[in-house]
Amino acid sequence: METGAEAVDAVAELFSRYGYGQGTVVEYPVRQGPDGEDAEIDPSGPIQVRAYLPADEAGQAALARLREGLWYLGRLGSVGEPKVRELVEQDWAEAWKRHFPVIRIGRRIVIRPSWLEYRAEPGDVVIHLDPGMAFGTGLHPTTRHCLEWLEELPLAGARVLDAGAGSGILSIAAVHLGAASVDAVELDPVAVEVLRENLARNQVADRVRVIPGDVQAAIPPGAEYDLVLANIIARVLIEAGERLVEAVRAGGLLVLSGIIEPHEQAVRTHYEALGARLAGRRTDGDWVTLLYRKPERR
């Protein structure tokens, strides 16, 4: 139900009194910047409060008491009408999988969710993926752009850095397309576990080194890569720019993704000041992916 800020604490306390396991969900309206960062609570919007009740006689009795309590609270502040909906029992951890199909990207790459069957065609590069709570399914333009570049760039024997590896989709694709080794850097500990599982699932764990930690701090000192993949957000791309360019060997390539169009120029200005030279650009709606080359040493 919806409630105003002045009544949210009282409503949440009432819901916890009668909700199953005393569980209560309070959802504040949030405003975010165009790249999904800088979130702040929107004081002008209504606050959602939810609780779950068993669908039996005890649940019906609790609902009646809950309604009575809300009636009294409504006399004191801004409290909306409760909305009751019966939920069909299902495994919520599995339900989202219905919306993740087999995906073909470019000419050869096929993303096959681990729970679906797929008969590979000649020449297919099949990635068996379970993204779990990690970013990277191939559905988002930022990931798709990176996969398209991987299919086109010279990867035979290459040493690759996957900065912000998420589910591991780019690391796996790079190995399948000929890379000799990949260093996969990921900050989120949950994503790190998903990453390791996907590497094992695709039998590439022996060629991908997982490096937990922040991109700037975790890139091995002195390491040089033929290709650096950085599918992050524009702010982090700029903050880590010097370290990422430093990690590319002379003549090597750098793919920058996760950029919203209004932030493209700031990213380009920063990387070109660091000596990188623009070699390609992909767009999809407001999303931009840039390909840079680091000049050869003179």
**pLDDT tens-digit profile of 154-208?**
999 999 999 999 999 999 999 999 999 999 999 999 889 999 999 999 999 999 9
Residue 95 covered by a domain:
no
Instruction: State whether 165 and 80 are in the same domain.
Output: no
pTM of this structure = 0.72
**Contact yes or no for 41/27 (Cβ under 8 A):** no
The tokens 């992050």 sit on which residue? Answer: 232
**pLDDT tens-digit profile of 107-136?**
999 999 888 888 999 999 999 988 765 566
Say how far apart CA 141 and CA 62 lie, in whole Å.
46
**Contact yes or no for 24/16 (Cβ under 8 A):** yes
Query: At 143, is the pLDDT very low, low, confident or very high (cuts 50, 70, 90)?
Result: very high
> Domain with 192 in it: what CATH number?
3.40.50.150
* Boundaries of domain holding 172: 139-293
Q: Is the pLDDT of residue 36 over 60?
A: no
Residue 173 covered by a domain:
yes
Domain count, the chain: 2
Residue 284 covered by a domain:
yes
Give the residue among 90, 211, 184, 188 at the shortest CA–CA distance from 132: 188
Say how far apart CA 94 and CA 48 lie, in whole Å.
25
Residue 100 covered by a domain:
no
